[in-house]
Amino acid sequence: MKPTGTLPLRAGLGLKPEHYQNALDAAEKAAGGGLWFEVHPENYMIDGGPRLAWLDAIAERYPLSLHGVGLSLGGPEKPDEAHLARLKKLVDRYNPASVSEHVAWSRLGSTYFADLLPPPPTRQTLQTLGDHIARTQDYLGRQILVENPALYLSLQGDISMVQLYVEAAQMAGAGLLFDLNNIYVCAHNVGGSTQDWLEAVPADQVGEIHLAGYTAQDREGDEVLIDSHGAPISGAVWALYESFITDAGPKPTLIERDENIPPFDELMKEAGQANTIMDSVARDRQYG
Amino acid sequence: MAEQREYYEKFAAVLRGGDASELGPWLADANHKERLAIHQGNFRVTASKAMQGIYKAVHRLVGDEYFEALMANFLADQPPKTATLTRYGEGFSDFLRAFAPVQEDLPWLAPVASLDWAWFAAYGAKNTPALTAKDLQGVAAELLPAHAPGLHPSVHLMRFSVTAYSIWRTNIEDEDVQAVPLETGQEWAVVWRENMQIRHQGIMRAQYIFLDAIGDGQALVEAWTAARQHDAQFDLAFEFAHWLNAGVFKGEKNG
């Protein structure tokens, strides 16, 4: 099984169409040292045209990560073969440095629900999720990373969500994509603490980190933090990042923004902030 | 897995607008029942945003509120079947055509939607080379009329019983939308991709017939004959050169 984890130990950006030209310009100016990009493969499951041409040009210049949202690994049904085939076509086309998906479900029967829905944290789910991850890896012929969910609902189950996440990946021989905004959102919304997650996630299995901003929603006195990817990364999540990187060492770190897209330079500043933290930790490890 | 399957089925029912309390037994905190509205909203908004990206003229014509209302009906009628939302919404034009409130008040909306979809489909069509004059250098002039080039996969030919193309064009091109008289009758249009640029053009009925025949695999002379039944002046050499330069014919080697 071909492993993932060949992304640079630097910050990368979620690639938005608004920033295609900026991304190419950054490469031209040699300003993209260590920079990498991540896309949702579902947005590129097309036959041809400008969007694929842009991605071709960017993939020629930067390491690429494919981060799926549609395999429904946490659902009761096996991953959709047609979707896997479309994903494999992109994997074969780009040979990305990383392929990842979510611990979530989104499909039941013939309907795709266009959301990352929470699977029930049970031993039964652990078996099906582990099986679905393994099937995906077998189909793609490579290891994938799986991402911890952002939760808005506290669900009944006989294991914890972090157990489901870590043990399913271990069962399948997959790596972990650790989203620190998601653990902050989870701790606020459904209880537990971010420390529970930091302690339970084996750092050596983490192949990528996600950092994003959340949006607070007041639902008649019930404040819920939404994993909106629509705001700058919060100070609390930066603190979690520094804490995790201090223990784990530098990791490929994605700055995610899917709503309220700011200018490219603003996202590069957040990437710079992540790189500064990683550099500081690397120096401390070398000389400390 | 029966009980666990029930969790997914109840959740799916809630997402389709069902009673959130059905999911109560699976919630560790009963107060979180109200939060299911977050997931209901995500389903609706994500699908709607994907559609707004495709149906730009329809969205501009009807505005946010009406578009959302149309989407709510479309989503209930034709929910996404795959995670590839870049392919979602192909049936929107037919849906609008069959949706009585739209058909009665906005009969041009379904044809406009078909133009939005044509633009989107052309944008993502296969990168097949178009036929060029260079490709035809080895073809003897007297054999050219028997040539059946076919159409490039990005080409969408359309005909309308209302002025849908004029309405669509001003809504996707003009900052200030031009007034379009509805009573001027039929229109024909072609949408295609030339290299990486989307092109569109309003055409005459004879041009539509000519290109339609080419798309059916007929030879140039047969397409010309069909077009001449509606326009005796239809000039094969002129039309062929025009559409060859526009890149609407399929390239020879990669068909």
Contact B35 A219 (CB under 8 A): yes
Distance CA A240, CA A253 (A): 13
pLDDT of B254: 43
Question: Which of A235, A177, A75, A48 has its CA nearest to residue B7?
Answer: A75
**pLDDT tens, B195-249?**
899 999 999 999 999 999 999 999 999 999 999 999 999 999 999 999 999 999 9
Rounded to whole angstroms, how far apart are CA atoms A31 and A29? 5
Residue contact B83–A120, C-beta within 8 A: no
**Series of mean pLDDT values for 10-residue runs along chain A (288 residues):** 71 97 84 86 96 97 96 97 97 97 97 96 98 98 98 96 98 98 97 95 98 94 94 97 96 96 96 96 82
> Residue ranges of the domains in chain A?
11-287
CA A38 to centroid of chain Cα atoms? 9
User: In terms of CA atoms, which chain B residue is nearest residue A53?
Assistant: B196
A154 vs B32: CB contact, 8 Å cut-off? yes
3-class secondary-structure state, position B169: helix
Amino acid at A51: R
The answer to whether the Cβ–Cβ distance between A190 and B29 falls below 8 Å is yes
Whether pLDDT at B2 is above 90: no
Query: At the top level of CATH, which class does the domain A11-287 belong to?
Result: alpha beta
DSSP B230-252: T-TT--HHHHHHHHHHHT-BBPS
- H-helix or E-strand containing B187? strand B187-194
Distance CA A182, CA A201 (A): 13
Helices (H), chain B: 2-15, 36-54, 56-77, 92-98, 100-105, 109-123, 164-173, 205-215, 220-228, 236-246
Q: Give one DSSP letter per residue of A263-278, joined into a string.
A: -HHHHHHHHHHHHHHH
Where in chain A does DSSP place strands (E)? 11-14, 37-39, 64-67, 98-102, 105-108, 111-117, 145-147, 175-179, 206-211, 215-219, 222-226, 253-255
Report pLDDT for A225: 97
Is the ipTM higher than 0.85? The answer is yes
Q: What is the pLDDT of residue A3?
A: 47
Between residues 190 and 229 of chain A, which touch chain B (CB distance below 8 Å)? 190, 217, 219-220, 222, 224, 226
